Structure 1
C-alpha cells in the first residue's frame, strides 16, 4: 500500500537500505529491482504506525532467514536515518518476528496531519492514484419481476460505495444495471399480472401455482385496470401485461435505488442486446478462436480450456441461448466501450458461475485479471432478536423499501456495509435504531454530533489562525492523530481490495478514539492555547468522519 508524503519517502528509504545490504552480500544490484517494498498499517498499535514485510518477501532472493535479513536492513536504516530527509518524521525503527520492520512516527510528523486536514478539508484523502483508469461496476441487476430485496440492498450499498471510493482516487467509474427484460421469468410476470387482473375484473378462476404470488402483483394489476379498464379481460396474449409490469417494476426499482442514494449511469437492456445482433457476433468470435464445438445437436463452449470444471452449453438443441450467450456478448460490449477493468457484483447463488464468465473473458482475448467478480453474501435481519423471515407487504421476502422505511437511508446503507463483502451479514432493525453506544451507527453519528456541539459552544475561538500543535501530548490526543494520518492510506487500501468495509471499520476506530479522548479530557479547557489546539484536533476528526462516511453514501447529523 503506497501513497504520497511519508509513505513515498519510506519506500525510497527502504529500497536504499536493501541495496546497501545486497552490496555487502556481494549480490547483483539487479536483484534489488525484484525487491519491491510494500507498506501496511500494523494491526497492533505496539507494532508502530507503518510496517513492511520486505525481509520475509525477499529472503529467498538473498538466501538468508527473514529475521536475519530484517536485522541487516535495520542496521543500514539506523546508520542512514540521521542524514535522511525523514529523520524528523521517524521516532524509531524496530524489527519483530518473523521479520517485520516497523516504523514509529514522531509527534512532530503527526502534528503535520492537522495542517493537511485543515488545508484540504473535504479533499483530505483524495488522490490521483487511479487517474487514467476506466472501470465499470455492474451491480444489483435484479430481474424486473419484483421489488428489490435486502440482498439487492446489500449489493447496491457495496457497488455504490466502491464507485464513490474509486472516484475519490480519480478513477473514471461508471455504474451499470443490467436489465434481464426477456425470457421465462418475464413471461411468468405477464401471466401473473393477467391472472390477477382477470380476478379484479370478476373472473373467478384458480390462481396458477407457478405464478408470482407477491402482493405487488395485485398492486400492478390494480394499476393496469385503473388505467386501461376491462378491455383486456379476454386477452390471451401476455405481451401487454408483461410490458406494463416491466415498466411498473423498473419504476419501482429506480425509486427505491434513488431513495437509497444510488444512481446508475447506464441501464442496459438484454432485449436490446439481442436485437442488436451482438450476441451472434460475440459467439462467432469465440467460435473462430476454436472454443465452440457441436455435440448432441447443441453448441458447447470449451470453458475447460480456461480452468472451468466442465464445458458449457451455449446454444441449446432447440436453437435457444443459455444464460451464458448474452453474458458473453454483454461482457464483450463492456470492453468495447473502453473499460479496462470490469467489476461484477453478484449474489451467493451465482458463485459457481464465476469460472465460466472468467473463461469467456479469456476466450474473447482479454486478461482474466481485468474482470473482478465480488460475491455479496447473504443478509439476515432480526427485529428485537426475532428472525424476520416474512415481509408484511410481499408475503415472500423482506424488501429494501421496508428497511429504508424502518430505519432510514443512512442507517440502512451503514448496516449493509458492516461486514466484509464475503461475510454473511446479520443485523437487528431495533438495535440499529437504538440511541446506544452499543449501536455502531449511533456510535459514529454521535461522535460527529458531539463535535458539532463543542464547536458551537466555542464559536469565539478562531479555527483558522495559528495554533501550537505541540501542546497536544496526551496519549488519547496522539492516538487520534495517528488514526487521522491513516485515512488517505485506508481509502487506497479499500479501493485496491474492492472492500468498502475497510473504510467503515476505520470510521469506527476514529469514533472510538474520539470518545475515549472526550471521556478523559475537556476540549474547551482553562488554558487557551491548549483549548485552541484541541478544537483544531476535534474539528479534524469531524472533517475525516464526514469524508469517510460520504464515501459510503452516509450523511452525518449535526444534532442527535
Structure 2
C-alpha cells in the first residue's frame, strides 16, 4: 500500500465514518495528507485529517480520530491505528500491505513513478540559451543540468515537452564578438568591452584558414564575415559541449528570425493597435505596469531600434502560435525583472499570465582547497561547462548542479566531488546502485531468484523503512514536477541510498556458506531489486548514469 493508496483509503473511511455519525463528508479535502512520522516508533504513517475537518464537521477532532482509528483497525492491510495528541492518527500497515509496494515496483519497472497527471499539456521549456559569444559558463551549465532534468520529470508526468534553446544571434553582444574576432585575426588589440580568451584566437584562426582573404577585406565586409562564421563556429562548440554533457534540445530558435520574418514588427503593431503601447520621450513603451510589472518598459527606443524586450514579446507570441499551453523560461540571476515583463506581455496580448513561468537560477562557484576557482583555461575570465566536466566528470557535474534548489547559490567543492567516499553525494548514491547490482549477480550464482516472493515476510524495522522510502518515490516525482524542483529527486535518492545501506547492514539477504535458500532470502532479494530499480529510475530522471560496478 503506497502513501497514495493509504490517502485514498483514509478519505473513503473518513467519509463513511462521518455519514455513519450523521455528519457531512463534504468537509473532507480532495486529497488527505499522509506523512511519515519523524520518529518511526510512532508508526509507519500519520495524518492530521481529523484535526483538519473535525470542527467543521461539527465534532471534536480527537473524537473523530478515534472513530477513524476503530474503522481503520478493522480494514485489511492496516495493522493498527492509534490516536495521539489533539487528533493525530498514527497508522501501522500490515507486513503484506507494505510488501505490496515492492510488488508494484517490480511490475512497473522503468515506469514506476510515472503518471498521466500532465497528459495533454504541451510545454515549451527554454533553458541555457547562452549567447553565441563564448563557451557556456557555470550559470548556464547549471541550467543545462536542471533544465534537462526538469524536462525528463515533466515528461514522465505525461506532458509533451519541447526543449528549446533561444539562440541570441542579434544585437550588440554579437557585434562585439565579431569585432573581437577581427582584432584577433589582424593582430589588433581587443576592442573595449570585447571578448578575450584563447577560444577567440582559435575561432579567428579557423575563419582565416577557410577564408585567407579575410584579414585584408574592407572593415564592413570583415565584420560581416567574422560575425556569420564566428557565430556558427561558436555555437557548434556550444552544442558539442552540451551534447557531451548529456543535454540536447528539440528546437534551436534563432532570435534573428523574429526580426527577419517581421514577427517583431507585427507584435509591436498589435500592441499599438490595442493601446498597450504609448509614446514618451520619442520612444514606444509597453504599459506593463498595468499588468503587474513594477514599471513600464521601452519596446522601441527613441532612435527607432527595437529594445531587447521587443524580441521577447514576439518570441512569446511565436511560442503560443506553435500551440504551447505553458512556456517555462529558465533564466540567470540577473534576469529577475523578466518575470514581471514576460507575464505582463502575455496579459497585454490577452493571454493568461499563468501561461508564463520564469525560473531564476542563482550563482555557481567552484572551490578547490578552500579557494574560489575563477579563471578558465580557454575562456580566460569565467569557468565553463568544459572546465567543470574536466575537473569532476559529467555525472558528478550534473548531480552537483541539480541537487540544490535553483533559488540558492551553490559552491562546488572539487575535493568533495572527486572523492570516493560517502562525503561525495553522487558516489554515495551510485555506490548503492552498484552494490545492489552486485547483489543481484551473486544471487544468480547462488540460485536465488525473485520469483514468487512472500513479501509478507518483510516485517523488520529496517525492511519497513526501506519499503516505505521506496513507496515515497511517485509522490516525490509528482512534487518535483509540480514545484519545478528537480533537486527533490536527488535528495530523495540520497535518502533511499541511506535506507538501503542501513537495511543491508542489519539484514542478511543471501544465504551464506552451506545455507540453503529460504523464502526470506527471496523476499529480501525482491526488496533489493525494487530499491535498485527506483535508484535507476531516479538517476535516469537526473540524466546521471546508474553504474553496475564501481
> Could you say whether these structures have the same fold, taking a TM-score greater than 0.5 normalized by the shorter chain as the test?
yes
Determine if the alignment matches structure 1 residue 10 to structure 2 residue 10: yes
2 CA distance for matches of 1:366 and 1:94?
Answer: 50
Query: In structure 2, do the counterparts of structure 1 residues 105 and 292 end up closer, same or farther at CA, with 3 Å as the change threshold?
Result: farther
| Contact 2:123–2:159 (8 Å) recurs in 1 | yes
2:192 to 202, 209, 216: 209
Tell me, in whole angstroms, the C-alpha distance in 2 between the residues paired with 1:350 and 1:90.
51
Structure 1 counterpart SS, 2:209: helix
Q: Determine the structure 1 residue equivalent to 2:437.
A: 452
The answer on 1:80 being equivalent to 2:71 is yes
Shift of residue 6, structure 1, vs aligned partner? 3.8
Alignment check: 8 A CA contact 1:403 1:412 kept: yes
Q: Does 1:531 align with 2:526?
A: no
* Superimposed CA distance per residue, residues 537-559 of structure 1 (whole angstroms, 9 cap, x where no aligned partner): 11111111001100100011111
Residue number in structure 1 paired with 2:426: 441
1:181 is aligned to: 169
- Asked if 2 retains the 8 angstrom alpha-carbon contact of 1:418 and 1:425, the reply is no
Q: Please state whether the residue corresponding to 2:390 is helix, strand or coil.
A: helix
Q: Please say if 1:123 is aligned against 2:117.
A: no
Q: CA deviation at 1:265?
A: 0.6
Determine the C-alpha separation between the residues in 2 that align with 1:149 and 1:518: 41
Is contact 2:69-2:89 (8 Å) kept? no
Mapped pair 1:37 → 2:28: no
Name the CA distance, whole Å, in 2 between partners of 1:97 and 1:298: 65
TM-score using structure 2 length: 0.92
Aligned partner of 1:148 in structure 2 is 136
Aligned partner of residue 365 in structure 2, secondary structure = strand
What's the CA shift for 1:7?
A: 3.7
- Asked if 1:71 is matched to 2:40, the reply is no
Contact 1:124 1:488 in 2 (8 A): yes
The residue aligned with 1:139 is: 127
* 1:346 paired to 2:346: no
Alignment of 1:506 with 2:492, yes or no, is yes
Q: Please state how far the C-alpha of 1:487 moved relative to its aligned partner.
A: 1.0
CA shift for structure 1 position 50: 4.7
In structure 2, what is the equivalent of residue 549 of structure 1?
539
Contact 2:27–2:53 (CA under 8 A) maintained in structure 1? no
CA shift for structure 1 position 511: 0.3
Q: Which residue of structure 2 aligns with residue 265 of structure 1?
A: 250
Say if 2:332 and 2:360, in contact at 8 Å, map to a contact too. yes
Label 1:251 to 1:5 Cα distance change in 2 as closer, same or farther (>3 A).
same
Residues 207, 3 of structure 1: alpha-carbon distance in 2 compared, 3 angstrom cutoff: same
How far the C-alpha of 1:231 sits from its partner, in A, is 4.1
The residue aligned with 1:393 is: 378
Q: Deviations over 1:460-518 (max 9, x none)?
A: 33434222223222211111011111111111111111110111111000100111122
Structural mapping, 1:78-477, within 5 Å = 78-81=69-72, 87-93=75-81, 101=89, 103-199=91-187, 205-237=188-220, 238-459=223-444, 460-477=446-463
Change (3 A) 1:519 1:79: closer
Provide the secondary structure at the position in 2 that maps to 1:443: helix
Deviation track 1:197-253 (CA, whole Å, cap 9, x = no partner) reads 011xxxxx4332321112211110111122212444343011110111110111011
| Cα gap change, 1:37 to 1:540, in 2 (>3 Å) | closer
- From 483, 496, 502, give the equivalent of 1:497: 483
- SS of structure 2 residue aligned to 1:528: coil
Unaligned runs of 5+ in 1: 200-204
Inter-CA distance 439–58: structure 2 relative to 1 (3 Å threshold): same
Q: 2:469 aligns with which of 483, 500, 513?
A: 483
Counterpart CA distance in 2 for 1:532 and 1:240 is 68
Q: Measure the CA separation in 1 of the matches of 2:86 and 2:186.
A: 73
Aligned to 1:202: none
Counterpart CA distance in 2 for 1:177 and 1:161 is 15
Secondary structure in 1 aligned to 2:337?
A: helix
Taking only aligned residues, the RMSD between alpha carbons, in angstroms, comes to 2.4
SS in 2 for 1:37: coil
Does the 8 A contact of 2:392 with 2:414 survive in 1? Answer: yes
SS at match of 1:299: strand
Render the CA deviation track for 1:85-128: whole Å, top value 9, x for unaligned: xx223334456668655544332211011111121211211222
The unaligned stretches of length 5 or more in structure 2 are none
Relative to structure 1, is the Cα distance of residues 109 and 220 closer, same or farther in structure 2, using a 3 angstrom cutoff? same
In the other structure, the counterpart of 2:530 is 540
8 Å CA contact retained: 1:15, 1:36: no
- Counterpart Cα distance in 1 of 2:358 and 2:56: 34
Q: CA deviation at 1:57?
A: 5.9
**Native 8 Å contact 2:37 2:43 kept in 1:** no
